[in-house]
Amino acid sequence: MVHELKIDREYFMAVLEDLKKFEIRYNDRDFKVGDIVILKEIDSVNRKLTGRQIKTEITYITNYEQKNNYVVFGIEKV
């Protein structure tokens, strides 16, 4: 499964620089290990897509200590 998600520039840059290797998301898409997540950068000021994106793969999922229906998933760039 391929998921396309928006991400603020601050967090996009952290993923791009390999500093951030996880996402916390509402699990309305039934995320699974092995799914591809396309992270699409949003300009934090005008809330519009910048055209930059990063392709990642989900490597791990947990809902431990999360709000109801939220998950944390590990990601690796592909």
Strand 36-42: give its sheet, edge to edge.
2-8, 36-42, 49-62, 70-77, 22-26
Instruction: List the chain residues with pLDDT less than 50.
Output: none
- Single pTM value for the model: 0.93
pLDDT number for residue 7: 98
pLDDT number for residue 78: 96
Q: How far apart are CA 34 and CA 72, in angstroms?
A: 14
Q: How far is CA 17 from CA 12, 20, 55, 71, in A?
A: 9, 8, 13, 23
The string of pLDDT tens digits covering residues 21-34 is 999 999 999 999 99
pLDDT number for residue 44: 84
